[in-house]
Structure formats: C-alpha cells, structure tokens
Amino acid sequence: MERVTRVVLLGAGNVATHLGRAFKRSGCSVLQVYSRTISSAENLAGKLDCAFTDRMDSLKKDADLYVIAVPDDAISDLAARFPLKDKMLVHTSGTAGMHKLEVGSTRYGVLYPLQTFSKTVDVDFSQVPLFLEVACTKDRSFLDDAAGRISKKVLWTSSHQRRQLHLAAVFACNFVNHMYAVAEDVLEENDLQFDLLRPLIQETAQKVMTAGPHEMQTGPARRNDLGVLETHARMLAGKPEYRKMYNFISESIRTKYNC
C-alpha cells in the first residue's frame, strides 16, 4: 500500500503550523512550505526545518501529500495554480466543498481538523478529531493511513456533515471565546481581574465532558429570575451591543427550556 512519508504544506498559518509539527512527530518528512508571502513561508520552514517557496513552479515534486491550509476564499485560486495533476491534494477547511480541488489534481480530498489552533499554544494532535473525504475511493486507504499517523480520531464524513460540524464548532469554540472576551471587558471596566473567572470557565467546560450541555444549564435565564435579568440589562446600559447580546441569549435560553 502507498503510504504517506513526504508532505508539502501550502499555507503557513496556524493550521499549517500544527499539521506540519504533527506530521514531523509522526515520522513523516515535511519537505517544503509554500506561501504567497515569502516571509511567512520562511518562518514556518524554520520551525519545521525544511525548504520554502513563494512560487508554485518551484513546488517539490516528490511528496506524497500536498496539504492546502489557507483561508477558504483562497483555496480555489491555489488549487487552480497547483501544477502536479497526479498528486494527492487535500484542503483542511470545515466549510469549503471538496470539489474546489478538482481543478488542481485528479486525486483530491479533505482533511479537516476539528480544533482551535493558535501560534503560541501547543496541541496534542493525537486527540484532534480529523474528518476525511476523498474524491476517488481508491485513495481512501491512503488518506486514512495518512490521517491515522497524526491522530487517533479519524472519521469519514460527507461534505454536508463536515459543514455542520464546523458550524457547531463556531458556537462551541469561537463564540464561547467571545463570551469569555465580553466577560473580560466587563471585569476590566471595574478593575477586576479576568483570573477570577478561570475556575468557573474550567468547571463550565468540565461539566460537559461527561454530561450534555442541556442538563448543565444554570443561571438567571434558566431559573427565570427576571429581577436579575433586568438588573443585568440595566448594568449594560452604557454598552448597547452587549446589552442586546445579553437579552438575546437570555431569551434564547428561556425559549429552549420553556421558562
């Protein structure tokens, strides 16, 4: 069976960085980083100890797997310029259709890591769920094997399911982090440290590790404590956007639990 041993990364952001590290740790060689911005390519190549380029026609031809990890709106253009028509090409997007890669190669698919990556925080990639799709069934075992080298949680999904996963992840991660940030704003305006909330944040996440979130909902909206809801709305009078968000989410909780 054909196995992945050499990888080229197209993109030099957070996803490319963490994928590159994971492939290196698994024993694969990362041959090269491509980025439109040569300094970004050089920077990541420095971390991964590999070559780099900002030119598609300088792409190394001897890799087994080419991974596009760029913002969604840049995928089509990159695929159209990809010169190696018989090489396995995947993107890492939660939302972009797999067939965007059809212009790039006869062999293509998706490897979507469901995790939040930032430059400064290391991640245990073996625990990151990877969602796979592939255009031709003959490439299925190759991609399954490649994904299995970097993660213990490999799943095959349809494009439809992958999009739904990504949408759910926006609520459970990006919007959650924004709630943390709003809380930070509220505290900072009153000379209180964000640190005071950290045990609460950890416990809130911990509670849904074994139970479902609908069982764990607490707070004034869930208790239908209208006095507190009114007090909080009044306290946010100087921040109309946050007040609107407060009322809207509280209302959504009351609706969900028939309060």
Residue choice 22, 114, 132, 146 for contact with a copy of itself (CB under 8 A):
114
Q: Using the rule CB under 8 A, is 106 a contact of a copy of itself?
A: no
Supply the minimum distance, in Å, between the C-beta of residue 21 and a copy of itself.
15
The dihedral of CA 208, 211, 212, 217: what is its sign? negative
Residue choice 199, 237, 238, 258 for contact with a copy of itself (CB under 8 A):
199
Say how many Å lie between the first and final Cα of the chain, rounded: 58
Contacts with 194 (C-beta within 8 Å, 6 or more apart), sequence order: 183, 184, 187, 188
Q: Using the rule CB under 8 A, is 37 a contact of a copy of itself?
A: no
Q: Using the rule CB under 8 A, is 175 a contact of a copy of itself?
A: yes
How far apart are the C-alpha atoms of 105 and 108, rounded to whole Å? 6
Q: Which of residues 52-71 bind a copy of itself (CB under 8 A)?
A: 71
Stretch that binds a copy of itself, among 25-33, 44-52, 54-62, 127-135 (CB under 8 A): 127-135
**51 alpha carbon, distance to own chain's centre:** 25
Stretch that binds a copy of itself, among 18-26, 39-47, 103-111, 113-121 (CB under 8 A): 113-121
Q: Which of residues 212-231 bind a copy of itself (CB under 8 A)?
A: 212-223, 225-228, 231
Size of the site for a copy of itself (CB under 8 A): 94
Pairing of strands 108-113, 6-10: unpaired
Residue choice 14, 62, 81, 106 for contact with a copy of itself (CB under 8 A):
14
Taking a C-beta distance cutoff of 8 angstroms, is the pair 244, 251 a contact? Answer: no
Longest Cα–Cα distance of the chain, Å, equals 67
